[in-house]
A = this chain, B = another copy of it.
Amino acid sequence: MASDRIIMAHGGGGRMMDQLIEDVFLPAFGDPVGHERHDGARLDGSIIFTADAYVVRPLFFPGGSIGEIAVFGTANDLAMCGARPRWLSASFILEEGLPIETLRRVVDDMGRAAREAEVLIVTGDTKVVERGAADGLYVTTSGVGFVEFGARVGPALIGPGDTILISGPVGAHGVAVLSVREGIAFETEIESDAAPLWPTVEALLRAGVEVHCLRDLTRGGLAAAVNEIARARGVEIELTEAAIPVETPVRGACEFLGLDPFYVANEGCFIAIVKQSDAEKALLAMQRFDPRAAIIGITGEEGAARVSMQSAIGGRRALDHLAGDLLPRIC
């Protein structure tokens, strides 16, 4: 490993984190459930189990809060495994001196988000650390759900010529967090897209779409998601740049901030990789939830684990996997 200390990029969802998983976690924990670099683990039968820590800074931002994404994020990881989210745990690490009113706002957001996502928060824990030993509060949620409609999804199921769809526009969450963190006011306030994704997944499955893989576009954004999948399956992925929805204010803010929206984290957006002949059916199902859902690419032949993008002016470029993340502490 290049460095012998943890750097911010180790938490960025990119190559540095992959390396940490391979060098430190997998040798110690093994690969007990046929780890596919998926969002959750399939246990006995149809039970899916997942967990995420949330350290977003600041705690509140346009369109959401750490509480909201701690619920939606973990519920969405279950949905990405084809599972209806059912139960969550919530474990808090609180910094001494945190106003109880701040905690209450976060917890109330979690309660509301749980009702919206139709999950129950059933267990949890609270620890307190000294002033200066945390940044207000961190929350870790884990989730349990059951696979429905006999869904079996994962990179291994992707075939050549599959269609790649996106559920909505990208980039809003990262821009919303960064704008408040940096104190930048854009002409149009950009709100996080934080939202539960199971309803859209359920619609796809209920419509009988042969879904091969699902992935939410969190840390590292669209680029990280497609690169992880390309590598996990050993397949080429070709995206069409002009087809990927990015709202005009988000595009403008990204230009201003020097960000590529395809690398910016989302909290309510996913890609579905489906059998080509089911693509139109999938698009119709997804557009019921967001008319901006779109077909954005296809999978190529096995062998070349890479992502290329057809640009709007006809050229083709690689969409690389970054070492870290453009934006630390975005979720």
State the A residues within 8 Å of B (CB): 1, 3-12, 17, 20-21, 24-25, 27-30, 32-33, 40-41, 43-44, 47, 49-55, 86-87, 89-101, 103-104, 107-108, 110-111, 114, 120-130, 132-135, 138, 140, 142, 144, 328-329
Q: Quick check: B129 and A135 within 8 Å, CB to CB?
A: yes
Excluding A7-B128, A32-B120, 6 further A-B contacts by CB distance (< 8 Å) are A5-B99, A11-B126, A25-B107, A49-B87, A130-B328, A140-B140
Q: Quick check: B90 and A122 within 8 Å, CB to CB?
A: no
- Return the contact of A91 from the options B53, B87, B114 (Cβ within 8 A): B53
Q: Is the interface of A mostly helix, strand, loop or mixed?
A: mixed
Contact (A8, B96) CB under 8 Å given A33-B122, A103-B24? yes
The 8 closest A-B pairs by CB, nearest first: A11-B128, A28-B111, A51-B89, A142-B142, A41-B122, A140-B140, A32-B120, A53-B91
**Identical chains in the assembly:** 2
Cross-chain pairs A/B with CB under 8 angstroms, 28 sampled: A1-B100, A3-B100, A5-B97, A6-B95, A6-B99, A8-B96, A11-B127, A11-B128, A24-B103, A24-B107, A25-B124, A29-B90, A29-B107, A29-B110, A29-B114, A29-B120, A30-B111, A43-B86, A43-B87, A43-B122, A49-B144, A51-B91, A52-B125, A53-B93, A53-B127, A55-B129, A127-B329, A134-B138
Contact (A6, B123) CB under 8 Å given A11-B94, A25-B107, A51-B89? no
Please report the C-alpha to C-alpha distance between residue A20 and residue B17 in the assembled complex, in whole angstroms. 35
Smallest CB-CB separation from A98: which chain B residue?
B6
